[in-house]
């Protein structure tokens, strides 16, 4: 039986480890990753190995040769262009005439391949995917099988809302040669994205084998370090080079350890390395071949490749040093730092935590490298959250980071493109906007500075100007010390998930071009955009109907750009406006979003003013003009689901046969409205991009130019105009409009849950509830008698969000409490 090793990966997320070598050649425990795979194959009886190559193929061929030194025969197949996982294996199809195994050369595993092969043959499978359980399934293909292992469903690299299991695809497959009938040679084709869905659709026997044992795809630098610790801790059964001279201490040939040195265990020391007097090698450290650890130097949980030199009294703490790194002396390299090949540190030079240094850099004596040379610190979660990139001002989001993000976005859009840049009126936003502009211009992209605008107006302006993309900065609504950077595409929508991933990879790998001096972009200031946006909001028919109603409106809004927008809008609609003011009349709000207490105070003041002045309604808008709160003529607040229902009524009743996108959390009776008015409802994921994309696609609310779309759920002023239009059309007050829609009761709760437990808990909930009607568009939506509950793993925080709906408040609360309890119980199990 033959095996195919896919060894073409660049490993961009592991840079600078992979700057000079392909990912399969990056060492783990002093051996290339792929060498561990070779030994695993040999252990399970594979005698012939075919290797597919693309990036730096000669590095693999030169090391392994014909394979005889490693106890088997090896041949190589080099791609001229990327062909995808299945496409690359197709190159070797002429040699694959019987059952064969495909395995990645850049993972670490000790999975029992013999048992997997036996499973495949017993099931008579065309393809068997070897599966494992992981704590965080976001970066893998998630799979559900039936009790016999037949695959029922899988999804490649889901968002948290799509996670329905913690069982994932390892990228190890057992296949029959008939799979090559499904695609042509030279065709770009992927196993997970293309072949397996096709086999499932064709009814071919497609199975998943859930394997015991260890597996890690070494997808980032943290996982790379952890793999070493797992080897030393015997969590993964691999061959460790050298001999174990005492429990947990492996040494290679010619190693010299001075009696005055201290060496803890477990530790691996490579061939001909020398540890001098007074040196200290702490537990969970790996030293490569020909290393020199001078007097008084110490290594704790450090990973050192070959030919590393640590000068006297240098310290390495949880860092990775590639080949030929030279520390002159009294240096400090801290947790998570990575020094590329050939890096030299002068005397007393310091490298701070998480800093990455590209190959062959030289740091002067006494220098302290923070994040200014190459900065790529990244949390375990994605760089992007639900609405953009957020972080603490001048801590996580510094001007340096802003410039880098601008350069990454500009490079993605290509030189010569146009980008709009805007911010709210808070000082931190305006300062960091300048940093973003610098990065954009440095990438050779032209920038339109829109000044201070709320996000909806910035979206409108971007489309009107024909820009390729936009950046908008605002104070994070959840953190007064934080900033939120929103990335917008040419249609005025939040950028797609694929774009976010491309930007994240470029940011983390530092792999993006800079423009030469003569080709940098130009900055143009574009003021006076308020009036075109307001005119686009209203429309002549709606303006005439609303104006005829002569509405009396009480308002409350944050200071800033809305000082111009909201009063001007209501004036255009010929409303009589009464401003409820702030807690102290005439006082400016501080440079931050309103606190909950301040918001409740505003609601109370507006409600009182509505009753005192016998107004038609009260209006509260946040500074960014995305959140709208309405109060009826009695001063009673309109609930969020009621607002969604009123907009739905307007669309379905006055746009015949309309298709209405609403999120999974929207009231269920919207489907009843759709049936009544011969329309249909499109349920979307809860994340903003999904809803925006469907709204734009259905073109329910096109902008004046017709190139963009208004997004009512993300544009408070547009939503306000539409509600006023509905009142005018129906000739009712806001309280009367509320009576047009059914009353439902909602529940909501949050449950703390560690990231690593989310996938397992979702799998258990799915298995418990799979006999009930389910939806898995986003999270797990379970229909119970008289109501439903949606369990949604949050993408940004270690929590679950639980939404429920039922006929009574007690029933809705009961559903919420049930899933809260189950999540807590499952965490303890």
218 contacts 33 by C-beta, under 8 angstroms: yes
pLDDT value at residue 535: 85
Model confidence pLDDT, tens digit, residues 792-828: 998 777 789 999 999 899 999 999 999 999 999 998 8
Residue 826, token pair as written in the block = 């499952």
pTM value is 0.68
Cβ neighbours of residue 388 closer than 8 Å, sequence gap 6 or more: 484, 485, 486, 487, 494
pLDDT value at residue 585: 42
Please report which confidence band the pLDDT of residue 687 belongs to, taking 50, 70 and 90 as the band edges. confident
What is the percentage of the chain residues whose pLDDT exceeds 70? 94
Model confidence pLDDT, tens digit, residues 381-432: 468 888 899 887 886 788 999 999 999 999 999 999 999 999 998 899 999 9
Model confidence pLDDT, tens digit, residues 642-663: 999 999 999 999 888 889 999 9
pLDDT value at residue 704: 67
pLDDT value at residue 394: 80
Please report which confidence band the pLDDT of residue 634 belongs to, taking 50, 70 and 90 as the band edges. very high
Please report which confidence band the pLDDT of residue 8 belongs to, taking 50, 70 and 90 as the band edges. confident
Model confidence pLDDT, tens digit, residues 194-249: 899 999 989 999 999 999 999 998 888 999 999 999 999 999 999 999 999 999 99
User: What does pLDDT average to over the chain?
Assistant: 89
Q: Is the pLDDT of residue 680 over 60?
A: yes
Q: Is the pLDDT of residue 117 over 90?
A: yes
pLDDT value at residue 540: 86
Q: Is the pLDDT of residue 558 over 80?
A: no
Q: Is the pLDDT of residue 163 over 80?
A: no
Q: How far apart are CA 709 and CA 704, in angstroms?
A: 9
Bridge partners for 175 per DSSP: 100, 127
Q: Cα 16 vs. chain centroid, distance in angstroms?
A: 22
Q: Residue count of the chain, please give it.
A: 829
Q: Is the pLDDT of residue 374 over 60?
A: no
Q: Containing H/E element for 811?
A: helix 809-828
pLDDT value at residue 601: 86
pLDDT value at residue 347: 82
pLDDT value at residue 392: 78
Q: Mind giving me the DSSP string for 676-737?
A: HTT-EEEEE-SSHHHHHHHHHHHTSSB-TTSSSB--GGG-HHHHHHHHHHHHHHHT--HHHH
Q: Is the pLDDT of residue 29 over 80?
A: yes
Please give the average per-residue pLDDT across 363-367, as a whole number: 77
687 contacts 161 by C-beta, under 8 angstroms: yes
What is the percentage of the chain residues whose pLDDT exceeds 90? 61
For residue 308, which phi and psi values (nearest 5 degrees)?
-85, 140
Q: CA nearest 728: which of 541, 599, 580?
A: 541
pLDDT value at residue 192: 87
Residue 481, token pair as written in the block = 């010390």
Please report which confidence band the pLDDT of residue 376 belongs to, taking 50, 70 and 90 as the band edges. very low
Domains of the chain: 2-216 (3.90.550.10), 241-369 (2.160.10.10), 389-520 (3.40.120.10), 535-738 (3.40.120.10), 745-828 (3.30.310.50)
Q: How far apart are CA 548 and CA 91, in angstroms?
A: 72
Tell which phi-psi region holds residue 390, choosing left (phi > 0), alpha (psi between -120 and 50) or beta.
Answer: beta
Sheet of 280-281, strands arranged across: 262-263, 280-281, 298-300, 315-317, 332-333, 350-351, 368-369
pLDDT value at residue 586: 42
554 contacts 613 by C-beta, under 8 angstroms: yes
Please report which confidence band the pLDDT of residue 361 belongs to, taking 50, 70 and 90 as the band edges. confident
pLDDT value at residue 377: 32
Model confidence pLDDT, tens digit, residues 477-530: 877 778 999 999 999 999 998 999 899 888 877 777 888 888 999 999 998 778
Bridge partners for 800 per DSSP: 751, 793
Please return the burial class of 14, using the count of CB atoms within 10 Å of its CB with bins 0-12, 13-18 and 19+: buried
pLDDT value at residue 538: 87
Q: How far apart are CA 52 and CA 58, in angstroms?
A: 12
pLDDT value at residue 418: 97
In three-state secondary structure terms, 602 is helix
């Amino acid at each position: 039986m033959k095996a195919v090793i896919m060894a073409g990966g660049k490993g961009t997320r592991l840079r600078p480890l992979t700057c000079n070598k392909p990912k399969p050649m990056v060492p783990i425990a002093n051996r290339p990753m792929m060498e561990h795979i070779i030994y695993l194959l040999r252990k399970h009886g594979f005698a012939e190995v075919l290797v597919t190559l693309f990036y730096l193929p000669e590095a693999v061929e030169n090391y392994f040769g014909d394979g005889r030194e490693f106890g088997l025969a090896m041949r190589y197949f080099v791609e001229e262009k990327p062909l995808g996982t299945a496409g690359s294996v197709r190159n070797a199809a002429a040699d694959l005439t019987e059952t064969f195994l495909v395995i990645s050369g850049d993972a670490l595993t000790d999975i029992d391949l013999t048992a997997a092969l036996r499973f495949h043959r017993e099931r008579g499978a065309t393809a068997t995917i070897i599966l494992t359980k992981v704590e965080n399934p976001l970066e893998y293909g998630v799979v559900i099988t039936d009790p016999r292992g037949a695959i029922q469903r899988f999804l490649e690299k889901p968002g948290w809302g799509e996670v329905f299991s913690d069982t994932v695809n390892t990228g190890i497959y057992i296949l029959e040669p008939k799979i090559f009938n499904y695609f042509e040679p030279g065709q770009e084709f992927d196993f997970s994205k293309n072949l397996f869905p096709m086999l499932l659709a064709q009814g071919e026997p497609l199975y998943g084998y859930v394997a015991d044992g260890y597996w890690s795809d070494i997808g980032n630098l943290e996982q790379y370090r952890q793999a070493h610790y797992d080897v030393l801790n015997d969590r993964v059964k691999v061959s460790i080079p050298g001999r174990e001279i005492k429990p947990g201490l492996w040494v290679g040939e010619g190693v010299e350890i001075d009696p005055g040195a201290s060496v803890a265990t477990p530790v691996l020391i490579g061939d001909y390395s020398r540890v001098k007097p007074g040196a200290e090698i702490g537990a969970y450290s790996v030293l490569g071949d020909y290393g020199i650890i001078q007097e008084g130097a110490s290594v704790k949980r450090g990973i050192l490749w070959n030919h590393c030199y640590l000068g006297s009294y240098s310290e390495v703490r949880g860092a990775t040093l590639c080949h030929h790194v030279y520390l002159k002396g009294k240096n400090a390299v801290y947790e998570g730092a990575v020094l590329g090949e050939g890096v030299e540190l002068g005397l007393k030079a310091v490298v701070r935590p998480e800093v990455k240094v590209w190959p062959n850099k030289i740091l002067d004596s006494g220098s302290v490298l923070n994040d200014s040379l190459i900065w790529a610190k990244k949390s375990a979660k994605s760089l992007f959250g639900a609405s953009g990139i957020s972080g603490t001002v001048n801590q996580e989001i510094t001007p340096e980071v802003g410039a880098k993000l601008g350069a990454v976005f500009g490079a993605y859009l290509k030189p010569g493109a146009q980008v709009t840049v805007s911010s709210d009126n808070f000082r931190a936003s305006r300062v960091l906007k300048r940093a973003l502009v610098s990065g954009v211009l440095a990438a050779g992209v032209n920038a339109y500075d829109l000044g201070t605008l709320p996000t909806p107006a910035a979206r409108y302006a971007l489309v009107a100007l024909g820009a390729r993309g936009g950046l908008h900065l605002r104070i994070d609504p959840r953190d007064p010390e934080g900033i939120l950077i929103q990335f917008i595409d040419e249609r005025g929508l939040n950028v797609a998930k694929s774009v976010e991933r491309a930007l994240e990879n470029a940011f983390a790998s530092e792999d993006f071009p800079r423009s030469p001096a003569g080709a940098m972009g130009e900055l143009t200031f574009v003021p006076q955009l308020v009036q075109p946006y307001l005119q686009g909001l209203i429309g002549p028919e709606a303006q005439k109907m609303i104006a005829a109603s002569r509405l009396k409106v009480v308002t409350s809004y944050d200071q800033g750009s809305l000082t111009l927008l909201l009063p001007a809008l209501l004036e255009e609609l010929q409303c009589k406006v009464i401003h409820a003011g702030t807690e102290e009349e005439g006082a400016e709000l501080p440079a931050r979003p309103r606190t909950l207490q301040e918001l409740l105070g505003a609601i109370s003041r507006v409600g009182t003013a509505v009753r005192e002045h016998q107004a038609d309604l009260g209006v509260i808008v946040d500074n960014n003009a995305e959140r709208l709160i309405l109060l009826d003529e009695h001063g009673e607040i309109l609930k969020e689901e009621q607002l969604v229902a009123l907009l739905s009524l307007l669309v379905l009743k006055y746009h015949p046969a309309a298709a209405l996108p609403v999120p999974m959390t929207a009231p269920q009776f919207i489907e009843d409205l759709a049936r009544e008015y011969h329309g249909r409802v499109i349920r979307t994921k809860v994340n903003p991009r999904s809803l925006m994309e469907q709204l734009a696609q259905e073109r329910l609310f096109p902008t004046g130019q017709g190139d963009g779309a208004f997004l009512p759920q993300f544009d408070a002023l547009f939503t306000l105009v539409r509600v006023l239009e509905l009142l005018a059309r129906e000739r009712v007050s806001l309280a009367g409009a509320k009576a047009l829609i059914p009353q439902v009761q909602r529940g909501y709760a949050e449950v703390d849950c560690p990231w690593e437990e989310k996938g397992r808990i979702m799998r258990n909930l799915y298995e418990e509830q799979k006999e009930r009607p389910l939806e898995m568009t986003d999270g797990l939506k379970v229909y119970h008698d008289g109501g439903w509950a949606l369990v949604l793993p949050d993408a940004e925080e270690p929590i679950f969000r639980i939404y429920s709906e039922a006929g009574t408040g007690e029933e809705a609360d009961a559903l919420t409490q049930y899933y809260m309890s189950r999540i807590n119980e499952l965490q303890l199990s």
